[in-house]
Amino acid sequence: MRFAKILLLATLLLTPATKAFAEPIEGLFNFTLGNVDVFVLGGFGYVDWNPPLNPPPNAVRTYGLFDIDPNAARTLAFASPDFSTLNGPDGTEKIQDLTQNPADANYVPIGLSGGIVNFLQISERPNWTFTELFLAPGDGGTPFSFSQQCNPITNTCNTGASLFFAGTGFDSITGITSLWTATISAQYTNFSIAQLLAAAVAGTLPNNSWSGTFEAIQVSNIPEPATMLTFGAGAALLAARRRRQIKK
């Protein structure tokens, strides 16, 4: 929760006090995804969340599916019973696939993107618009960051691969603006960091099941330049903190 406090502090420094709304886009949830395929096409990396499988190139934006986990931590707005069903008719959410190819519809640059609207879609709240603004730089020129934990008793090691995103959420009914972050990761057994990094660079990262944590805090409706300034400061702090955590 410390990173949320950092974002909140940056927001308070740049915005005046405003009245609260009934249901701010604020809180935390854990979510589960399908597998991920990593491709290299013409020298460009591509991350395909699946299902469904959407191999590149893509002329229009494509999405993978994820589910908010009703049995894991959910707080504030996301503690609503609306989010308590996996794989129901209104219980499947979407996340855009990624590519480093500017000619592909799924282009998401490392660093600031300038704004990718509807990067995330939550079916229970069609009035919420989630825009991606930042993909943290990872290792070896990829968006993936790696860390490893080993058990000397079982002589096994788990290497984690993770992606870190940040952006804004907007509620068209209440006019609420929020800042959000999402960390998505997977665990690989008996792979070294060097092996996974080489696979990510080559576009051959093994298909695996991924999961994540999403957290949002309200910043209310403030002018767009101030929103971007707040976001830029918060994103830089978050990215630096995240890289320190991974190195540990």
79-129 pLDDT, tens digit per residue, is: 988 887 766 555 679 999 999 999 999 999 999 999 999 999 998 899 999
Whether the Cβ atoms of residue 194 and residue 139 lie closer than 8 Å to each other: no
Local confidence band at 175 (pLDDT 50, 70, 90 cut-offs): confident
Taking the CB of residue 16, how many other CB atoms lie within 10 A of it?
Answer: 8
- What are the boundaries of each domain within the chain? 22-220
Its pTM stands at 0.81
Q: Are 4 and 217 in contact (CB under 8 A)?
A: yes
* % helix, strand, coil for the chain, step of 5: 20, 40, 40
Contacts of 71 (CB under 8 A, 6+ apart): none
| Residue 18 or 131, more confident | 131
Query: Sorting pLDDT into bands at 50, 70 and 90, what band is 163?
Result: very high
**34 within 8 A of 212, measured Cβ to Cβ:** no
- What confidence tens digit (pLDDT) does each residue in 23-43 have? 789 999 999 998 889 888 888
Measured CA to CA, the distance from residue 68 to residue 90 in angstroms comes to: 11
SS3 at position 50:
strand
